[in-house]
Each structure stands twice: as structure tokens, then as C-alpha cells.
A = this chain, B = another copy of it.
Amino acid sequence: MTNEPLPVLAILGGTGDLGTGLARRWAQAGYRVIIGSRTLEKAQAAVADLHEVMAERGVAQVHVEAMENLDAATAADIVTLTVPFSHQAATLELVKPALAGKILVDVTVPLVPPKVARVQLPEAGSAGQIAQELLGEEVAVVSAFQNVPAAKLQEADGPDCDVLVCGNKREAREAVITLVEAAGMRGFHAGMINNAAAAEALTSVLIVINKQYQCHAGIRITGLGDH
């Protein structure tokens, strides 16, 4: 443990299931969390909902704010993007000026509706690579959380799964692995940003499994030996 202050976290598109799930867990872990949305009203509604859930869980105090996406990105140290693939590029273009020198956690899964159970990766290889190319070297893009069942993330006890963490900069990956742990899961360094393709493709596989078993599946890494 060091005495460094915790980074301020923004979650863009933070009103969906995955965004609110992460917000709950990080807020409960003591982080200051900014929920970003396209409109301030939607973000405020998500914050009000979060406060209700925290009260139900008996959590005394959390630091959560609502902002529009660009303001949220500006105010934060680490910015997490949880928008649908179809909004990824536009949202990143909007907030790009606010991201220089920061970490962008890309949670985008390049699903192609209506066939979301079929792997259809983009030409660039992965949504993670699209984000890194769009934002340039000034921003450390880290891909994570694609295989976390959002419904489970919102519950108090959290999901039974691991998180694959990909990115080109070691320090940025390590910062995100810390956030994975703060959210109650194990994070694994899973390679450079190209390897985001694995986690993104796996989401369609988990959709197939969820449909068969009527469940919220995830993955765990096995065979680590004594680790």
C-alpha cells in the first residue's frame, strides 16, 4: 500500500448495466466515481439509483457524481468506456481532447446485431485496437471487462469470473488490474492491445452458453499452480 490518493474514475455511457455495475463496485471500494452520459439528466438518474442501492446495502458514504461525457472525461484520471460498439468511435472523438496522458479502459464488444452470438470481429482486429488507433500514443488504451456478466456485477456479492486485461503499456495495465481487484475479481495481464480480440470474441461464445443454460456465464483461468 502506498499513500497515493486513489485515481478519480469516470464511466462514460455509465447508465447501462455494465457501467452501473462497475460504478457500484468502485464507489463501494472508496473511489470517487463520475457517471458520464450523453445528457446530464440520464447521468443524474443513474447516480440517484446508485445512492439507493448503497443505502440498501448499508454503505454509509460514497462519492459519486453525474456529468456529461466530456466533462466526466475531463475531471477523471482513468476513463472507462461502456457504450455499445456503434457509439464507440463517436464517443471517443468527443472526449479525445480530455484524454491525453490518461488511461482509457475500453469495454467495447464489437457485436453485430442481430447475430450477437456470432463472432464478427472488425477489420482492425478488435474494438480495443480501434480505440488505440483513434486516440493515438498519447492515451494508454487498456481493454478489459468484456466477459463480466453485467447482471452479476450489479449484485452485492459480485461475479464469479476473471478479467483479461490487454494493453500496450505495462503501468496502465497494472492500474487497471488494481481496478479489477477493487471490483472484486482477479485481473490477468493478457497481452498487448491486439489480444483484446480474444476477450471480445469470447463474449459471443458466452452469449451462446447463456442461451443454452439460461445463465450468466463467465470464465476463470485455471492451471496457475501455486499462484
Residues of chain A whose beta carbon lies under 8 Å from any beta carbon of chain B = 117-121, 125-126, 149, 152, 159-161, 164, 166, 188-192, 194-195, 197-199, 201-202, 204-206, 208-209, 212-225, 227
Contact = CB atoms under 8 A, between A and B. Distances in A.
B205 A201 contact: no
B189 A212 contact: yes
A209 B204 CA distance: 22
Contact of A215 (B159, B160, B225): B225
B219 A219 contact: yes
A224 B219 CA distance: 10
A200 B146 CA distance: 17
Contacts of A161: 222-223
Nearest to A151: B223
By CB atoms of chain B within 10 A, which of A160, A215, A216, A222 has the most?
A222
Contact of A195 (B152, B160, B208, B227): B208
A204 B191 contact: yes
A223 B152 contact: yes
Contact of A119 (B120, B149, B194, B209): B194
Give the 5 A-B CB pairs with smallest separation, nearest first: A198-B201, A191-B208, A190-B205, A217-B223, A119-B197
Contacts of A218: 221-223
A213 B224 CA distance: 7
Contacts of A225: 213-215
By CB atoms of chain B within 10 A, which of A121, A205, A214 has the most?
A205
A194 B224 CA distance: 29
B209 A190 contact: yes
A198 B204 contact: yes
A217 B213 contact: no
A152 B118 CA distance: 30
